[in-house]
Structure 1
């Protein structure tokens, strides 16, 4: 479920005559004023509040960036311009909030209308790893698809990037609403840049984002979904991902990270425990919740946790993970079933048999769910490669498929 990004770059590429022209043309919007002091007037979901330029890369710079990230460059045709969008969305409680995301445009010589790729990212624990802020792994796929000729909307999700609060990790519902509203904001941002979107939508996402992509395909809003190609998503939490924590298919390091993150985040939404000591052994119970405040990187988190899930959890909660009941079962079921429906468009499920973060059984289970509705969705096995490598191998293939 994780990108395990190596850290975000603090250098942001800005400038260029074209970018200045866009700024002068009014692409960058001023923040919307707050409502009156006595009540809050909820704006429409997806309202675009602010556009901030974050990158301007030539074709050669895109090629170099992707090559450094070990992503194939055969589909690169254009340079890209990227922006951070701040927009209105809804929180886990249904109330009004804001979120951010990365919007990328190809630097084409024509003003032709563009299809839009929704590219949803994998697990990120530090808010600055999110695509609109960190110029690292989270931008590889968005830049790739934009350089192939499509606009790209890459939401940060709630509580990551520049959005308020903490990230509700693996809460599919809020990830979908944030992604829907990012699409609406992207349409407005394209208009401000003098570009038009066709209304055609192509859905992809990696790891956590693969699960989000499958769920978003069912609720795309006003866009017309043309194809769905998620990569290494944890579609089957109850039937595959959780059992894989205990039978050796998920490596210990990733298992500890995912388990701790999931339990802390989901406890804010479902009654998993009243006190961390009910779920986590000492001394981890005293530190685990603050590790997932959006300000700690993966290295910080892993350095403060034990080496295995059995060392992390109390004996009682360890058994509860193996046989979920109550709030834990409720949390898992709330995030399962993203493949249990009938898409009307082509679906390809990219995965890797060498993945020890999100085992390929997740994709096979998703394919089986889709088949039960009469939909054939091939599992595109990327081979004996790691979780992160599966994304690098799959992305150029997906870009070619979307182009067709």
Structure 2
């Protein structure tokens, strides 16, 4: 997260508005807007993806959608309809396979076809739980509003531990990100049925930054048959860290990742992944004083990115102990396992069309990640285009790519209708 990204995050806070719901939306949700959808006895035996509750959170006319997107420098030409959005609470599993709940945002167009194709949108790195798409109307909702206003349903999982989901967020844990995403698709299918907008089963997957990696992993799971109701129709991740061991981690130390972002990402990743892989017993083994005494508390879901950055060192070199810095650059054992656990998302052959979007001037997630992903896919005889957005930074790659992805999904849907 460079200085410009920090500024964009500050701007996001001023963008958060909550407007009254229309009478139509209120009537549509009458009787179950905020009430549980299952009795206590039913919830005890509920399966993954089962809805717990649906809450209406936004109702925007077409003009309001255009204003929302234009205010964030997003092209508005894909917009055709207004949007209604709902927070879904649903049943899923934690990284250990134990039952838990998660939340996510379901967005539906106010018009268009009765039966809707579905977009899965995976958001980028967030530390404050209330910034999640179902909770806050800021950048996390851009792809949802953009694609829903183009005439598709959009399911945007908050992930575990964000939004109203319990516990800490297992940052960059691919397996639980996929289960939460798949279960969000299932919950979206049930909610869309109840709201009178049933889904076709065709799924377009996208995501930005952390979400780009999640989208790739979700695409692989869908084509692997993780749920018989959903068919992967298109896959368009943006600026994802697909290659931690080969690209992203080395870039933290060779200057390709800027200092502010490097400190933020590596501290978040180390704290979250240590809960799963246990490569340090005490934070002081990894982090220098005084940061070792505060780093874990900064990632409690209540601090925003600015709080985290202010509480840590100015560079990765000043953040990590010399011994742990050496371990990061020559990983073995549990530390290497943690890196590799996220590096399999491009190791498959997609049948659905795929495009990888990235920016050449990205100093958060360097474009080498996308090129590594394309090489992995090519090894399986899948030749995927890397859409190089040129001299744009991390946030700029999102601003440029989001409407392009929506247009590409439009084109894919048009081809599908001709078959």
The answer to whether residue 392 in structure 2 is matched with residue 385 in structure 1 is yes
Q: Does the CA-based 8 Å contact 1:232-1:390 persist in structure 2?
A: yes
Residue aligning to 2:414: none
The answer to whether residue 335 in structure 2 is matched with residue 362 in structure 1 is no
**Residues 236-385 of structure 1 mapped to structure 2, 5 A cutoff:** 236-385=243-392
Corresponding residue pairs, total: 400
Residue aligning to 2:233: 226
Q: Does the CA-based 8 Å contact 1:203-1:227 persist in structure 2?
A: yes
Secondary structure of 1:240's partner? helix
Closer/same/farther in 2, CA of residues 35 and 289 from structure 1, 3 Å limit: farther
RMSD: 1.6
- Structure 2, unmatched stretches of 5+, are 412-419
Deviations 1:171-211 (A, max 9, x none): 01000000000000000110111111110000000000000
The answer to whether residue 208 in structure 2 is matched with residue 206 in structure 1 is yes
CA distance in 2, matches of 1:360, 1:118: 23
Q: CA deviation at 1:11?
A: 3.2
Residue aligning to 1:132: 134
Q: Which runs of 4+ in 1 moved over 4 A?
A: 1-4, 7-10, 25-29
Q: CA deviation at 1:20?
A: 1.8
The answer to whether residue 23 in structure 2 is matched with residue 21 in structure 1 is no
Tell me the TM-score normalized by structure 2. 0.93
CA distance in 1, matches of 2:37, 2:145: 26
Tell me the TM-score normalized by structure 1. 0.96
CA distance in 2, matches of 1:33, 1:195: 24
Residue aligning to 1:160: 162
Deviations 1:52-81 (A, max 9, x none): 011000000000000111111011000000
Q: Does the CA-based 8 Å contact 2:89-2:103 persist in structure 1?
A: yes
CA distance in 2, matches of 1:386, 1:304: 24
Residue aligning to 2:415: none
- Structure 1, unmatched stretches of 5+, are none
CA distance in 2, matches of 1:34, 1:124: 32
Q: Does the CA-based 8 Å contact 1:42-1:96 persist in structure 2?
A: no
Q: Does the CA-based 8 Å contact 1:13-1:54 persist in structure 2?
A: no
Q: Does the CA-based 8 Å contact 1:26-1:192 persist in structure 2?
A: no
Q: Does the CA-based 8 Å contact 2:70-2:76 persist in structure 1?
A: yes
Closer/same/farther in 2, CA of residues 159 and 268 from structure 1, 3 Å limit: same
**Residues 62-101 of structure 1 mapped to structure 2, 5 A cutoff:** 62-101=65-104
The structure in which a higher percent of residues are helix is 2
Q: CA deviation at 1:41?
A: 3.4
Closer/same/farther in 2, CA of residues 26 and 261 from structure 1, 3 Å limit: closer
